[in-house]
Amino acid sequence: MATKKKKTSKPKKTSPKRAKLHGEVFFPSKEVIAQANLKDWDATAKRAGKDLEGFWADEASELEWAKPWTMVLDDSKQPFFKWFTGAQVNIVHNCIDRHLKTYRKNKLALVWESEDGKEERSFSYFKLNREVSLMASIIKSLGVEKGDRVTIYMGRVPEIIFAMLACAKIGAIHSVVFGGFSVDALQGRIADSASKLVITCDGSYQNGKLIELKRIADEAVAKCPSVENMLVVRRTGQVVTMQPERDHWYHELLESPVAKERFPTEVMDAEDPLFILYTSGSTGKPKAIVHTHGGYMVGTYTTLKYVFDLKDDDRWWCAADPGWITGHSYIVYGPLLNGATSFLYEGGPAFPNPGRWWQLIERYAITVLYTAPTAIRGLMRFGEDWPNQYDLSSLRLLGSVGEPINPEAWKWYYTVIGKERCPIMDTWWQTETGMFMITPTPVVPLKPGSGTRPFFGQEAEIVDEQGKPVKDNEEGYLVLKKPWPAMLRTIYGDPDRYVQQYWSKFPGKYMTGDSARRDEDGYFWIIGRVDDVIKVSGHRLGTAEVESALITHPAVAESAAIGLPHELKGQAIYCFVLLKPGQTASAELAEELRQHVAKHMGAIARPEEVRFVDKLPKTRSGKIMRRLLKARAQGLPEGDLSTLEE
C-alpha cells in the first residue's frame, strides 16, 4: 500500500483509475499488486456479473465432489434457493480427506496456544484427520445419526474444532453456542434444536478466570428432555458433577474400543444441512440459521481464497470465536478448504497484558490477522508502545469484521500494526450470508470505513421504504439482489419466518437489516442495524433476549433494552425498567439487575446502565417504542409520534 492520497493527488501512470475516486483513498502498493493472486478485480467482477452460475461452477470445480451437480442454481422455488442440486459431497472431505492425498498431508492445519502461554499444540492435516475421526466415532457411538442435532458449548480449544468437523463428518448438524453465553441462552438453543447430544468442557479460561461450562450446561440441560448424552472434554481439571449414564468424559472414551483413528466420511447431498447457528433477530427469540454442505463450502472456500489472497505459506489468524459465524466460516471451514495453516488462541486480546496479541503475531509469524474493530479500539487505547515491542513484520494483510470500523481505528490498525504495508480487508457479511458479501480484495483501493464493493457475482442496492433505489450518498436499506451459494437456506423449523424476515419487505431482494449508503464511486458504507439488533463489541444480541432475562427478576414488571453508541464497544446496552408495585428503585437494585442479565445470558449482555422509569413509551397497539427511547437518550429528534399512546 502506498501512503494515503487525497483526490488532489496526481494520477499515476500505473493506475489510470486513481483520479476517479473521491475522498480519502489508500491505493495498493506495487508490492501488494505483485503478490496478489488475482490482479484484475474488474475482469473477474465483470465475468461473474455476466455469468453468475458459470463463475460459481468454476469455483466449485476446484473442490472434490462424490457426485457432480445437475444444476448450479435452482431458483424455481424462491426464496428457497438451492445450489449444486443433485451433487453429493461432504464438506469434511474437502477440508481434510482431500488434502491427505497431497503434500499437505504433513502440512500444519492448526496451531493453538493456551491463554497462559504455557501450552502449544499443533496438528498436521494428517493428525487433524485422526483427531476428527476419533471424535466422530465417539459421537456416533453415543447414538448420534445423520441429521441429528448436536449442541457444542466449549471454550477456544482445538477440541471445539474437532467436534464441529466430527459432526459434519458423520452428517450430524452442529449447533455451536458461544462459550460466553450463560444458562438461558444455552437452554433456549438446546431446546429449540432438540439436540440429542451436548459436547462441552469442564470449564474454560477467560482472562485468568475459570468459567464453569459444565455446571452451566448441567443447569441448561436439566430443562431439555431431548438431550440423551453429554460429552465432556477435560480442559481445566476443575471439579464437576458427572451424571451417571448421561455424562461421559471424552478422554475416557478415547481409551475405549469405540474410538477409531480411521472413520468414514458420510456422503451427503449438497443441500443437506451442515450446521445451524442461532442469531438474534428483530423480534422474539433467536433464530437458527441453516447452512448446507455444498453451497456454504463453495462460498467460504472462494471468498477466503480471493479476499485474503491465501498463499501456501501463510499463517492465518482469525481472532474471532469459533462460536460465531466468523469462526465457523473463517477459523474452521474456509481455511481448511483452502489447505491453509490456521492459528487459534484460547484467550482474549489484553490478558495478561495488552501486548499479548502482538506477542503471538511475532511468536507464530502470523501473516494475516482478521479481527473486529472493537478489539482494535480496545488495544489502541493502550498506546503504540505495546505493539512496538514486537516484530510484526510477518504480517502482509489485515482484516476487519462485525461492525463499522471508525476511520481513527482503521488508521491506527493500518499504521501501527500494518506499518502502512498491509491493506485492510473490511468485510461486511452476516450469520445469514455465511460468507463475505461486501469486501475488497488486496488490489482494490480502500477508503477507511467502507467495505468497498460487493463480492464477485453480487449486486447490492440502497433502497427507500418503498424499495426504490435512493440517490448516491443517501441513507437507506441495504438489500442484496443476487443469490449466492453460502446463503442461508431457511430458519430451522420456521420457514415462514425465513420468508417474512428476509424476503417480504422488498420482494425478490434479500433484506439485510442494515442501513447504509453508497457513494459516488459505488463504495458501500454501513451505518448500522435498522431493527432491534444490538452489536455489542461486534457480538449480535437482540433487545428481546435482554428483556426476557430482566423479566425473570422478581422486582421487574416490564423493561425495554436499546443499543446506544459506545466509544469502545461500538454499541452498548441500556435498559429502562418499570418496577413491580412495592419495589423501590435504587443504585443497588440497578447493579443487581445488570448482574442478573449477565448471569442469565452471559457477560457480553451485561447492560451498561439500568434506568428506572414510571412508564415505557408504547404504540397504541402496545409495542414498546424503542426508537423513541433511543432518540430521547441521545437528545435526537423524536420523529413521527402519531402512533404513540397518550
Question: Residue numbers of the site for ligand PRX (CB under 6 A)?
Answer: 279, 325-326, 400-404, 426-431, 451, 512-514, 526, 529, 535, 540
Between residues 535 and 569, which has the closer beta carbon with respect to ligand PRX?
535
Q: Least distance from C-beta 339 to ligand PRX, angstroms? A: 23
State the number of CA atoms in the 13 A half-sphere of 582 facing the CB. Answer: 2
Q: Least distance from C-beta 431 to ligand PRX, angstroms? A: 3
Between residues 182 and 400, which has the closer beta carbon with respect to ligand PRX?
400
Between residues 323 and 354, which has the closer beta carbon with respect to ligand PRX?
323
How far apart CA 36 and CA 16 sit, in angstroms, is 19
Lookup result for grid cell 493502550: 382
Q: Least distance from C-beta 330 to ligand PRX, angstroms? A: 9
Residues paired with residue 174 on neighbouring β-strands, in sequence order? 150, 275
The crossing angle, in degrees rounded to 10, of helices 41-50 and 52-60 is 110
Would you say 564 and 633 are in contact if contact means Cβ atoms under 8 Å apart? yes
Q: Least distance from C-beta 301 to ligand PRX, angstroms? A: 17
What residue type is 406 in one-letter code? Answer: N
Between residues 248 and 529, which has the closer beta carbon with respect to ligand PRX?
529
Between residues 263 and 477, which has the closer beta carbon with respect to ligand PRX?
477
120-124 and 533-536 as β-strands: parallel, antiparallel, unpaired? unpaired
Query: CB 161: neighbour CB atoms within 10 A?
Result: 28
Between residues 135 and 541, which has the closer beta carbon with respect to ligand PRX?
541
Between residues 123 and 414, which has the closer beta carbon with respect to ligand PRX?
414
For residue 181, give the DSSP letter. B
How far apart CA 332 and CA 263 sit, in angstroms, is 20
Between residues 269 and 532, which has the closer beta carbon with respect to ligand PRX?
532
The crossing angle, in degrees rounded to 10, of helices 183-193 and 213-221 is 50
Would you say 401 and 410 are in contact if contact means Cβ atoms under 8 Å apart? no
Between residues 1 and 320, which has the closer beta carbon with respect to ligand PRX?
320
Q: Least distance from C-beta 624 to ligand PRX, angstroms? A: 22
Output the CA torsion sign for 260, 266, 271, 272: negative
Q: Least distance from C-beta 535 to ligand PRX, angstroms? A: 6
Between residues 41 and 428, which has the closer beta carbon with respect to ligand PRX?
428
Q: Least distance from C-beta 451 to ligand PRX, angstroms? A: 5
Would you say 424 and 413 are in contact if contact means Cβ atoms under 8 Å apart? yes
Alpha helices in 283-425 (DSSP H): 293-307, 325-327, 334-337, 356-364, 373-380, 385-388, 407-412
Kindly write down the DSSP assignment for every residue of 424-478, as one continuous string. EEEEB--TTT-S--B---TTS-B-TT--BSBPTT--EEEE-TTSPBPPTT--EEE
Q: Least distance from C-beta 325 to ligand PRX, angstroms? A: 5
Lookup result for grid cell 451505518: 527
Between residues 88 and 302, which has the closer beta carbon with respect to ligand PRX?
302
Q: Least distance from C-beta 409 to ligand PRX, angstroms? A: 12
How far apart CA 525 and CA 451 sit, in angstroms, is 7
Q: Least distance from C-beta 81 to ligand PRX, angstroms? A: 19
* Closest C-alpha to 289, from 272, 277, 299: 277
How far apart CA 516 and CA 631 sit, in angstroms, is 19
